[in-house]
Structure 1
């Protein structure tokens, strides 16, 4: 982005991003997205205000300026979800700057994000999920790579891990314990029970992997010995779903959705599943679980004090 920031605003942006990483545990990808969103906003202001904005210009922003920016973003075909994310980043920076500079941010913070209908996850049914575990290890002719692929997808489905979480495991995690301590989004830690099938799949891979697990090295390796690239996991799922005739929604992340959905259908407690997934909000967990409203109501009534009182 070709925007030239004033030294004061450049320092402010970098300081805010550094604090987001230190205090909130923001990932590199999240911080990169924040920076891009705020820079795009400041780039708009440069044209809107007739020059590179500084902290003093941001003090004077009002709802009309924010609406002009949002209309501009809509004009370049930015979707409602992406615009809501950008507005969240801008508000986060603006809130922090207001505290540092001592001005009232109410006019900007009161601007509402556009409404959008969140996309519903599309988990696999249980038969398809088992088929993925069976077929994933047949996509590569090298035995240790095939065993690695089986181990990764088994962890995604059997433990509900994100791809980034599975690939962040190191040699220190081998052999897998009964319970894994996972550091998820925002640096939040959670404890995840490890199924015997997942432990066995990882052990089978580690036994024949030509790169012995080092305590600080990646547990899952690429063919040249480096850390396994998450894009290769996506390609693995793409080949697997084509072979099985599954829809394009059968992605690595769909295995995590499937983990949550199948647990709830089997009678799992929604709060417990929330903890296993590492969700801050129960509503997020509900969105992850593709179960009908009757089942959700049953879970709610079993957990709610008034529901239990009727039993």
Structure 2
């Protein structure tokens, strides 16, 4: 059993991450699950209750055993790397307060991962997705709603959670939206005419009142719209168009970034528009663009 002192320490660390690190609630929930899983393993591994003293004695061998166990139960390299990052962050914070040496944990290397490139759609496919999404509902206002959301993902590079967090106060859409993204970071996003038109068409048809304090995008019963209906509309659209499973709502955001880069957009500017904390995240799109160019080259110049 994890000791009350360690449980309290975990809670205080999460409060620290929330207050000073600006971590979102979903991130904090994942951190808590990852660290609790680690502590539970160490308890089974050592067959003793895990208190502050026991956790300070974790060795390199213990860390290897934990990582082997996690991979053995089917955890992907990416998920394990995320869990290790959470454990290291917790240990870094705890060791500074309890005065123990955390080297065994902090020196543990994350598993190697093959970099996953975003899978954007080309411009023609993105246009066809918008047209197909509109056909997935027989209710005109629902069809207009789904098109408006997907247009915001592609035309403004919003995350689906950001689009669904808009309120009636944003209608009609201004020339620039102030978006609060991950970690509470704010950014300004230009709104294209197509996005304004799509949202305007939805607002005119929506049967629910557009109160400034209520969500802009509504479910059938009038409550806040969840991501699932948009995901389902995209699933149906991609099946209709014969597109791969990677054609998700988030792929529309990837497409926004890749199309800007292809048109000569500045990487730093795209970073700001997407709300990426690190330029290295945005630089992933340069690899996507290079991969696409090589594919075109190979088709144009087949090997003998």
Range into which the TM-score falls when normalised by the shorter chain = over 0.9
Give distance in 1, aligned partners of 2:139 and 2:121.
27
1:288 to 285, 294, 302: 285
2:156 to 154, 159, 175: 159
Residue in 1 that maps onto 2:54: 57
Q: Which runs of 5+ in 1 are unaligned?
A: 297-311
Give distance in 1, aligned partners of 2:214 and 2:15.
26
Q: What TM-score do the two structures reach when normalised by structure 2?
A: 0.92
For residue 23 of structure 1, report the CA deviation from its aligned partner.
Answer: 2.0
Residue in 2 that maps onto 1:41: 38
Q: What TM-score do the two structures reach when normalised by structure 1?
A: 0.90
Give distance in 2, aligned partners of 1:24 and 1:134.
41
Matched, 1:269 2:266: yes
For residue 88 of structure 1, report the CA deviation from its aligned partner.
Answer: 0.4
Residue in 2 that maps onto 1:81: 78
Larger CA deviation: 155-164 vs 30-39: 30-39
Residue in 2 that maps onto 1:260: 257
| Mapped contact 2:2–2:43 kept (Cα < 8 A) | no
Matched, 1:145 2:142: yes
SS in 2 for 1:146: helix
Matched, 1:120 2:129: no
Matched, 1:225 2:226: no
SS in 1 for 2:244: coil
- 1:148-191 alpha-carbon deviations (Å, 9 max, x no partner): 01100100000001101100111122221111111111111111
Matched, 1:216 2:218: no
Give distance in 2, aligned partners of 1:16 and 1:172.
36
| Mapped contact 1:66–1:111 kept (Cα < 8 A) | yes
For residue 293 of structure 1, report the CA deviation from its aligned partner.
Answer: 6.8
Task: Tell me the matched-pair count.
Answer: 293
Q: Which runs of 5+ in 2 are unaligned?
A: 295-304
Residue in 1 that maps onto 2:68: 71
| Mapped contact 2:175–2:192 kept (Cα < 8 A) | yes
Matched, 1:17 2:14: yes
Give distance in 1, aligned partners of 2:292 and 2:114.
22
Runs of 4+ in 1 over 6 A off after TM superposition: 293-296
| Mapped contact 1:24–1:187 kept (Cα < 8 A) | no
SS in 2 for 1:292: helix
Give distance in 2, aligned partners of 1:211 and 1:19.
40
SS in 2 for 1:182: strand
Residue in 1 that maps onto 2:94: 97
- 1:274-295 alpha-carbon deviations (Å, 9 max, x no partner): 1111112222112135201798
